[in-house]
Amino acid sequence: MTFSQYHPFRRRSWVVGLALVLIFFPARSQAQQQESTLSGFVSDSATTEKMISATVALRGTTLGALTNKQGFFTIKGIPAGTYTVTVSFVGYRRIEQSLTLAPGESKRVNFQLAPNTVTSKEITVTADDEVERRQILVSRVDIPVEQLSQLRIGGESDVFRALQYLPGVLTSSQLSSGLYIRGGSPDQNLVLIDGSTVYNPSHLLGFFSTFNPDAVKNVELIKGGYPAEYGGRLSAVLDLTQKDGNRENVEGVASVGAIASRLSLQGPLGAGSWFIGGRRTYLDLILGLLPQDPAEPFPDFAFYDANAKLTQNLSDNDIISASGFLSRDDLSLNGGGIEFNVHIGNQTGALRWNHIFNESLFSVLNVSGSQYQNGFVGNNSGFGFIVENTITDYTAKGSTEWFITNDATLKGGFEVTNYTFDYYQNTTGSDTAIASGTQQAGLTNVEIRDWTYAAFLQGNYQVADLLGLQAGLRVDHYGQLQQTYFDPRLALRLQVQPGVAVKGAWGIFHQYLHLASLPDFSFFDTWLPTDSSSIPSIGTHYILGLETEPWEGVDVNLDLYYKTMENITELNRFNTRSGTVSQIFYTGDGHSYGAELFVQKRAGRLTGWVGYGLGFIASRFDSINGGREFRPKYDRRHDVKLVAQYKINDRWEVGASFTFQSGQSYTGATSRFRTNLPGDTVAADVVIPSERFGLRLPASHQLNINANYNSTLFGLPMRLLIDLYNVYSRRDIWFRYYDTTTDETKVTDVRLLPIIPSVALEVKF
């Protein structure tokens, strides 16, 4: 049964749309028509890179705005007069400028901020606080890119490495490239870069994402209750924005480290800029030099990636950009009774057009293509398996944002996607099929083509000085199903007293795609759609939050959440003949709930955060665990994160990061028996499992430290990056399995990486 069938909201959806229009269409009096408007862009003075979420405020008033993802802002309803405009952003010098506005004037002014060499907190301006407290940011995490760059492995900073240090963001292991957020699996996270969907956002081992850190200028993570402009996923949204490039000078950054090296270049071109960056790891070579225990071998791993972007100003009101990236991963392990090889590749390209109709109306059109490929071949105690997957995605989407008044904005848009899915799976253990890699009869072999369509309307309204409201509606139509689904969203923010606000969010979310993965190898992302034999997953979020600033420069956020999940899926590894998606997956339900505490200091010599997450997750499938409820593999229960960076002087910075998590769940065994597969003369041993994920591995914890030394090399700015990964060399258990290659069954642990010291040299030119 679909949401459109069982929920009365479907019959009243037009009422919500009409209410949104009435709320955000306030009548203007003659006095209001004489009020002025200030708009423009905020950018970095050194590179003219547009800045996201910079604050523009009028001193002595409560008027102001934050820049959007294109660096554009609008302040409406300004009485004629002369004002001092303040513009600020963390890590940049605040500027103040006097402006005079005539009655009814619409003035566009562009501001440029200079990087601040001293990270001390700026003097607080009341108008800035007034602007920021009006933002309805439920379950959103904002970490400056400068802080993200301090979380490194082998001299390499990385977006996903930093996100794994946030409360409520879990990983299956240190090798997991997936982010498990509030009980959701990695496929339930929508990952965007410049508005385009990315299906494989991380390289293997979880050390690096597919995005070169030099190419990213903004990271926004919404852990739940996200607005109607985002859809197609049940759990969270990770929205990244790439750098446009330096419009003033050609410059570059080169880094040579013990694990990977990278190079990025950028510069002006015509009426815009360009950026290109590449990276390659040689961890496979490093691990080959380390002494290894044959019973606990290190995995062999290598990857490369490349990012590029070209941006041009066609006019003062039109900006176009073309961007893309590609990546390739290879991971293998051979020893201890198990061997496998994984390869993953990602290619994407996008064309984007930003257009300003006037100071009140802003639009974005994005056309993109993406292809994701992976393959997994292996053998576990004589049981062979192979999985191959390709997804090709062509998407066009657009949105228009209307700044009606300072208290009201309205945003609407559409999305059209053409999918092609190919999936092949052989987990029968047949040596003949595995060796040949051919698609033989009796094995899963699925190809699906589909069109999906979506539209949304959402608005923000400051009901009163202390109360803000965000309401929206998203409509999705899936061609394979010939079904339309309605997802309402609602969020609010109440300022209960100065410096203390209560937030809440509720929403319904549908997901069309599913992830097929083998439980012990959760880094392997295999995507399949909902076809005519199945129905989409449905999630409902309930969130209550508290935000405060108990001490100047220290933000504290506490979130309580409850989430239900219907029609979620798990791979059916025992079905050897599948032609539809419903035959590949088991379908069930789940729920999660918990609390997250996040204490963050974003400015000063000492920066960083402390986070704690308490989470409970449960799933139930009729065909798994005897129909009894069980906790998933990635249930961690307790999650502690500490991150700190201290600037000693202009030369030296030191930092540390620490994590502690409850051990991941695993399935034990009760017995084994020997059998022969049809047509196979070799006997195979089959392990009889116990309670589904009923046992836990030991707790996982790890300490990393780093130091930066800033100087010059041949007259060029230089940084020496010193890192110590896994300081006390605790080799956490990746997964536990039962070795049946001998008469006596052995419980075997495959462990993760030991201590890895590294030094990297970074030079800017």
> What local confidence, expressed as pLDDT, does residue 399 receive?
94
Separation of alpha carbons 523 and 206, rounded Å? 8
CB atoms within 10 A of CB 23: 17
DSSP letter, residue 640:
E
Could you tell me the pLDDT band of residue 9, with boundaries at 50, 70 and 90? very low
End-to-end CA distance of the chain, in Å? 60
- Could you tell me what percent of the chain has a pLDDT over 90? 25
Domains 34-123 and 140-764 share a fold: no
> What local confidence, expressed as pLDDT, does residue 435 receive?
46
Q: Are 325 and 308 in contact (CB under 8 A)?
A: yes
Kindly list the domain boundaries of the chain, sorted by start residue.
Answer: 34-123, 140-764
Separation of alpha carbons 551 and 661, rounded Å? 28
What's the pLDDT tens digit per position in 443-482? Answer: 667 778 889 999 999 999 988 888 899 999 999 998 888 8
What's the pLDDT tens digit per position in 329-359? Answer: 877 776 656 677 777 888 888 999 999 998 8
What's the pLDDT tens digit per position in 83-139? Answer: 999 998 887 889 999 999 898 888 899 999 988 765 444 444 444 555 655 668 888
Listing DSSP states for 165-217 in one string gives TSTTEE-SSTT----EETTB-GGGEEEEETTEE-S--B-GGGS-BSS-GGGEE
> What local confidence, expressed as pLDDT, does residue 545 receive?
93
Q: CATH number of 34-123: 3.30.930.10, 2.40.100.10, 2.60.40.1120, 3.40.50.2300?
A: 2.60.40.1120
Phi then psi dihedrals of residue 320, to 5 deg:
-120, 150
> What local confidence, expressed as pLDDT, does residue 290 receive?
65
> What local confidence, expressed as pLDDT, does residue 538 receive?
93
What's the pLDDT tens digit per position in 546-566? Answer: 999 888 888 899 999 999 999
Rounded average pLDDT over 6-24: 46
Locate all alpha helices (DSSP H) within 401-481, ordered by sequence. Answer: 431-436
Answer whether residue 24 shows pLDDT above 70.
no
> What local confidence, expressed as pLDDT, does residue 6 receive?
40
Q: Are 242 and 275 in contact (CB under 8 A)?
A: yes
Answer whether residue 13 shows pLDDT above 50.
no
Exposure of 28 by Cβ count < 10 A (0-12 exposed, 13-18 middle, 19+ buried)?
exposed
> What local confidence, expressed as pLDDT, does residue 14 receive?
46
Could you tell me the pLDDT band of residue 488, with boundaries at 50, 70 and 90? very high
What's the pLDDT tens digit per position in 222-245? Answer: 999 999 999 989 999 988 888 888
Residue 649, sorted as left (phi over 0), alpha (psi -120 to 50) or beta, turns out to be beta
CATH of domain 140-764: 2.40.170.20
- Could you tell me what percent of the chain has a pLDDT over 70? 79
Place of tokens 């019959």: 11
Average pLDDT, whole number, for the chain?
81
> What does pTM read for this prediction?
0.82
> What local confidence, expressed as pLDDT, does residue 697 receive?
87
Lowest-confidence pick of 123-137, 377-391, 574-588 = 123-137
C-alpha triplet 180, 232, 145: angle, nearest 5°: 55
Give the best-scoring range by mean pLDDT among 14-18, 90-94, 96-100, 683-687.
96-100
What's the pLDDT tens digit per position in 146-165? Answer: 776 777 665 567 777 778 88
Q: Are 439 and 387 in contact (CB under 8 A)?
A: no
> What local confidence, expressed as pLDDT, does residue 178 receive?
67
Answer whether residue 271 shows pLDDT above 80.
yes
Separation of alpha carbons 264 and 505, rounded Å? 40
Separation of alpha carbons 638 and 613, rounded Å? 6
> What local confidence, expressed as pLDDT, does residue 430 receive?
55
Q: Are 2 and 535 in contact (CB under 8 A)?
A: yes
